Amino acid sequence: MSDIFNGTVEKNPHEDLCVVYVLYFDEKKGQIPLLMYPDDRFRSEKKYMRPINYHPVWFLETEELDHIDLEYKGYAFFGKKFKAKSQRPKRRAGLEEETPETIVIIVSLPVELEIFGDELIKELTEKLRNQFEDQLTEVIESGIASDAVIKTPKIQERISKGNKIKVFMRQLIDKEIRDYFSRVIEKRSESPSLKAQKAISYFSLKGFEFSPLSTLRGEGIFTSVDLFDSTIQKGEEIRTRSLFSIASINFIENSQEIEITVQNNSDKELKNILITITHVKEYFEKEVMNQEVEFWFPQEELLFVSPIVPHIDEYLFSIKKGDGRGNIENKLSQRIDLKLINKITS
Amino acid sequence: MSKVEIREEDVIIRNYRTSDYQATLEILKELHKLYDIGLREEQWRESSGLRQFKPNLKRITLIAEFKPTGEVVSMGIIEGVKNTLGQYIGYLDNWATKKGFIGKHVGKLLADKAIQILHGVVNQSELIYPMKQTKNY
C-alpha cells in the first residue's frame, strides 16, 4: 500500500472529469503537492504542474475571498486555501511547531464543466477539512520524511502512516466526485441552462453513462439522467429565457475590433449593468473593456465594440448586474475565439 | 407632399432599432448622392445604428418616425467622445432627412432633442425604445 503512488497507474475513467490537487506550503521549498487525484504520476512533472504553481490562489488570504479561479488551456482551475493544525518543527526561523499549515485545494475541470466548479470545490474542501484537518500535519511530515536519504525504521513508519491517510483522502475525493456529479447533473438537467446542456453534452462525448439502453445502467452507474428521455412531453417543457442573449459577434479585420450585439430579453428596463471583456495573459486576467451601462431598455439591442490585443485570440465577454448595494451578479459569460467568429473585412 | 411644417406631435423620436436598417440606408444613400459623405454600403450594417459602447466613445442613432405612416423620415447620430481631460464631448453627425420631408423641420425637431440629450435636459431613458421589436435568434 505504501507504494500506491509510485506504481503504474492505469488511466482513471474520471480523469476526463476533474483533477484534484491537495498542496501545502513548505517553508523551505514553497508549494508542494501532497496528492493528486485521480493520477498521482504527474505531481512531479514541472510542465503539468505549471498552472498549479502559478494559480493566483497563492496570493489569497485564507480568511478573505472564498476561492479564486483560473482558466488555462481549456481547463478551469478552482483554488481554495485554508489553515490546518500543525505539530511539526518548522525549518524557518520565526515559525513555531504550532504555526498552522497552509493547505490549498485546487480542482481542475474542462471548461465545458466549469459550471460545477464553485460548488464542487466548496463541498470537497469542507469534507476534506472535516475529516482530515488534524491528520494533514502527519501527511506533510510523511512527505518531508520520504525525502530523507537514510530512512530509519521510525522514518519509514512515519511515511507509511502518511501514505495510509492519503489513501483514505483519495477514497473520500473519489466518492465525493462520483456523488457530486451524479447529483448535480440530475438536478441541473431538470431545468437545463445552456451551460448545463453543454456539460451534459461533454459527459456524453466522453462516454459517461447516460443512455437508457446501456447495459451499464443500474446500481452504481454514474448518474440516472436519461439523455434521451422519450417520456418527456413537449408540453411539459418549461423554457426560461436568460436575461441577455448574444445576437452576433463579429471581428472587424480592418480596425482589429470585436463587435458584440447583445439583447436585453426582459420586459423591464435594466440598470447598473457592467460589461467586461478580458483575456488571460501569463496567468493573469487583463481587461480590454470595462463599460458601465446605466440603463438598458426592454428588448433593446446594444452594440459593444472593443479593440483586440495583438496575438491574443481568446477573450471572455461578461455581463454583470449590480443590485445597488454593492453586490454584483454575473448574468452572462461568453468565450470568444477570434478564429471561430464571423470576420468582416470592411 | 406640400411644404407644410411637421409638428412635434406628428413624429416619434426614438432610438434606432435593427428594423430601421433599410430605411436609414436609403436616407444615407440620398445624402451621399447630394454631398458625398463617403458612404460605403458595407460599412452601414444592421447593427451600426444600435446604441454603441466603445472605449472612450458612446453613440446613439436617433430616428424620427412619422406617426401617421410609421415611416422613418429622419435620422441623426449623436457621438460622445472622451477628450484628454476625461470629459465626454458631444457631436452630431450624419443628420439626414428623407426626400419629401426635407424643409418640413423634421431634422430640426430631431436636432433639438439631440441637443437636449447632450445638455442632460432630457435623460436618454426618457426616449422611447419600442418593445414590439422582438426577434428570434
Query: What is the per-residue pLDDT across A149-194, written as a single tens digit (0 to 9) for each?
Result: 777 888 888 888 888 888 888 888 888 887 887 777 655 555 556 6
Compute how many other C-beta atoms are within 10 angstroms of the C-beta atom of residue A145: 19
- From A245's Cα to the closest Cα of chain B, the distance in A is 9
Spell out which residues of chain B touch residue A295, defining contact as CB-CB under 8 Å: 124-125
Which of A269, A299, A305 faces B52 most closely, judged by CB atoms? Answer: A305
Residue A38's region, left for phi above 0, alpha for psi from -120 to 50, else beta, is alpha
- From B102's Cα to the closest Cα of chain A, the distance in A is 29
DSSP assignment letter at A74: T
Q: Give the pairing type, strands A314-322 and A301-307.
A: unpaired
Mean per-residue pLDDT for B112-133?
62
Q: What is the pLDDT of residue A122?
A: 86
Q: What is the pLDDT of residue A10?
A: 45
The string of DSSP codes covering A27-61 is TTTEEEEEEEES-GGGGG-HHHHHHHHT-GGGG--
Nearest CA in chain A to B19: A301
Residue A205: pLDDT band with limits 50, 70, 90: low
Q: What is the pLDDT of residue B47?
A: 92
CA distances from A57 to A23, A60, A79, A128, A243 (A): 11, 5, 6, 18, 31
Spell out which residues of chain B touch residue A261, defining contact as CB-CB under 8 Å: 47, 50
Q: Is residue A200 part of a domain?
A: no
User: Could you give the number of structural domains in chain A?
Assistant: 2
Residues 6+ apart with CB under 8 A from B49: B16, B18, B20, B21, B24, B61, B63, B75, B77
Residue A6: pLDDT band with limits 50, 70, 90: very low
Spell out which residues of chain B touch residue A269, defining contact as CB-CB under 8 Å: 125
Same domain, A175 and A253: no
Q: How many whole angstroms separate alpha carbon A171 and alpha carbon A214?
A: 27
Percent above pLDDT 90 for chain A: 9
Spell out which residues of chain A touch residue B61, defining contact as CB-CB under 8 Å: none
Same domain, A274 and A181: no
- CATH code: domain of residue A313: 2.60.40.10
Yes or no, beta carbons of B50 and A303 under 8 Å apart: yes
- From B2's Cα to the closest Cα of chain A, the distance in A is 35
Residue A105, all three cell numbers: 485545494
Spell out which residues of chain A touch residue B79, defining contact as CB-CB under 8 Å: none
Q: What is the pLDDT of residue A264?
A: 92
Same domain, A75 and A172: yes
Q: What is the pLDDT of residue A260?
A: 94
Same domain, A183 and A251: no
Per-residue buried b or exposed e for A295-312, using 16+ beta carbons within 10 Å of the residue's own CB:
bbbbbbbbbbbbebeeee
Query: What is the per-residue pLDDT across A62-96, written as a single tens digit (0 to 9) for each?
Result: 555 566 677 777 778 888 888 888 888 777 777 77
- Cα A72–chain centre separation: 10
Contact A176, A131 (CB under 8 A): no
Query: What is the per-residue pLDDT across A217-249, written as a single tens digit (0 to 9) for each?
Result: 434 444 444 444 445 444 444 445 588 999 999
Yes or no, beta carbons of A299 and B131 under 8 Å apart: yes
Yes or no, beta carbons of A261 and B42 under 8 Å apart: no
Give me the residues paired with residue A252 across strands: A257, A344
- From B52's Cα to the closest Cα of chain A, the distance in A is 5
Last residue of a domain, one of A155, A171, A187: A187
Yes or no, beta carbons of B47 and A301 under 8 Å apart: yes
Q: How many whole angstroms separate alpha carbon B63 and alpha carbon B49?
A: 10
Query: What is the per-residue pLDDT across B45-97, written as a single tens digit (0 to 9) for each?
Result: 999 999 999 988 899 999 999 999 999 999 999 998 888 888 888 888 889 99
Query: What is the per-residue pLDDT across B98-111, written as a single tens digit (0 to 9) for each?
Result: 998 999 999 999 99
Query: What is the per-residue pLDDT across A277-315, written as a single tens digit (0 to 9) for each?
Result: 988 776 677 888 998 898 898 889 999 999 998 888 888
SS (H, E, C) A281-295: ECCEEEEEEEEEEEE
Q: Which residue has the higher pLDDT, A194 or A137?
A: A137
CA proximity to A185, closest of A207, A201, A167, A170 = A201
**Which amino acid belongs to residue A169?**
M
The string of DSSP codes covering chain B is ---PPPPGGGEEEEE--GGGHHHHHHHHHHHHHHH-----GGGS-TTTTSEEEETTEEEEEEEEEETTTTEEEEEEEEEEEE-TTS-EEEEEEEEEE-TTTTTTTHHHHHHHHHHHHHHTSS-GGGSB--TT-----
Helices (H) and strands (E) in chain A, counts: 5, 13
Query: What is the per-residue pLDDT across A315-345, written as a single tens digit (0 to 9) for each?
Result: 889 999 887 777 788 888 888 888 888 888 8
Last residue of a domain, one of A167, A187, A207: A187
Yes or no, beta carbons of A303 and B53 under 8 Å apart: yes
- From A297's Cα to the closest Cα of chain B, the distance in A is 6
Q: pTM value?
A: 0.52
Q: Is residue A56 part of a domain?
A: yes
Q: How many whole angstroms separate alpha carbon B86 and alpha carbon B81?
A: 9
Residue A103 main-chain phi, psi, to 5 deg: -105, 135
Residue B84, all three cell numbers: 484628454
Q: How many whole angstroms separate alpha carbon A37 and alpha carbon A20?
A: 5
Q: How many whole angstroms separate alpha carbon B18 and alpha carbon B51?
A: 11
For the domain with range B8-126, which CATH number is right: 3.10.450.40, 3.55.40.20, 3.40.630.30, 3.30.1340.10? Answer: 3.40.630.30
A132 lies in which domain range?
13-187
Same domain, A152 and A278: no
Q: Let me know how long chain B is.
A: 137
Same domain, A259 and A152: no
CA distances from A332 to A141, A220, A273, A320 (A): 45, 35, 11, 7
Q: What's the mean per-residue pLDDT of chain B?
A: 83
DSSP assignment letter at A16: G
Which of A247, A275, A297 faces B53 most closely, judged by CB atoms? Answer: A275
Spell out which residues of chain A touch residue B52, defining contact as CB-CB under 8 Å: 302-305
Handedness of CA A107, A199, A323, A287 (dihedral sign): positive
Q: Which residue has the higher pLDDT, B135 or B11?
A: B11
Q: How many whole angstroms separate alpha carbon A285 and alpha carbon B82?
A: 26
Q: Is residue A229 part of a domain?
A: no
- From B68's Cα to the closest Cα of chain A, the distance in A is 24
- CATH code: domain of residue A53: 3.30.450
Spell out which residues of chain B touch residue A289, defining contact as CB-CB under 8 Å: 55
Q: Is a pLDDT exceeding 50 seen at residue A21? A: yes
Yes or no, beta carbons of A304 and B54 under 8 Å apart: yes
**Domain residue spans of chain B:** 8-126
